[in-house]
Amino acid sequence: MSIDGQLPPKTRLLRAAAGLLAKSGGAAVSTRQITQLAGVTAPTLYHHFGDKEGLFDAVVAAGFEEYVARERDFAPSGEPLEDIRRMWDQHVHFGLKQPELYLVMFGNIRPESRPAVVADAEALMEEMLNKAAVAGQLAVPPKEAARSILAANVGVTLMLITEKAPERNLELSAMTRDAMIFAVSTEQARDSGPDSGKSPVVVAAIALNAALQASHSDQLSSSELKLFLEWLHRISTSSTS
């Protein structure tokens, strides 16, 4: 059960901590557990890492290296904004694959103390956004864009982590991702139209009715569609308000 080999104690501590952190299911991991698994006593830990957080930072640094490395390998596509998209997805993927490690990195939030790893992640994203800016695809300063996107990215990942695996809906991520990228990009050609009005059930039903007839949606079979339209007609001719 212990981590032996003739590896130096420092390495054994790192592996023990990473292993326990990965298996613990988010529960707290004590220094005693770590030192015991590493086959080492307490002072050794504090000699090498200062304190518990120092150890965790070291573990996180290793995890982040892996994260960044995968990031950079994939980087060189022609489209900077497409790279950002992939960066977002890998961020989420990393968080869901190693939730405990991710939470040590991004979930350990305290006021006025920003973990170094956040700044690193921000720098990485900013660097990529810079390319987009050079290409004239950015409508916002890269720094602000990076912070904004990263904030949303972390928020989404944290929310997905709190969900039980089977229920996870990655659509949430994709949608938020595209919203953020679209918002900072220059491709928007918005034109706020004169909208309005309230549409109660009847109006909505009428709109749907018209829209359905005009488009060839294949979400419903023809027999289903027929019955659907009949009900729709019933609703839209009723006088609810």
Smallest distance from DNA to CB 105, Å: 18
Smallest distance from a copy of itself to CB 45, Å: 21
**Type of residue numbered 75:** A
> Does residue 41 touch DNA according to CB under 7 A?
yes
Among 2, 23, 26, 51, binds DNA (CB under 7 A): 51
Q: How far apart are CA 32 and CA 45, in angstroms?
A: 10
Binding mask 188-217 for a copy of itself (x = CB under 8 A): xxxxxx-xxxxxxx-xxx-xx-xxx-xx-x
CB 57 within 8 A of CB 116: yes
Q: Give the three-state DSSP class for 201.
A: helix
> Does residue 23 touch DNA according to CB under 7 A?
no
150 binds, options DNA, a copy of itself, none, Cβ within 5 to 8 A by partner type: a copy of itself
98 binds, options DNA, a copy of itself, none, Cβ within 5 to 8 A by partner type: none
Q: How far apart are CA 143 and CA 128, in angstroms?
A: 11
Smallest distance from a copy of itself to CB 49, Å: 20
Considering only CA atoms, which of 122, 158, 121, 117 is closest in space to residue 143?
A: 122
183 binds, options a copy of itself, DNA, none, Cβ within 5 to 8 A by partner type: a copy of itself
Buried-state track 115-139, b at ≥16 Cβ within 10 A, e below 16: bebbeebbebbbebbbbbbeeebbe
Nearer to DNA, 58 or 125 (CB): 58
Long-range CB contact pairs, 187-190, < 8 A, 24+: 187/137, 188/139
44 binds, options DNA, a copy of itself, none, Cβ within 5 to 8 A by partner type: DNA
Binding interface with DNA (CB under 7 A): 8-10, 28-33, 39-48, 51-53
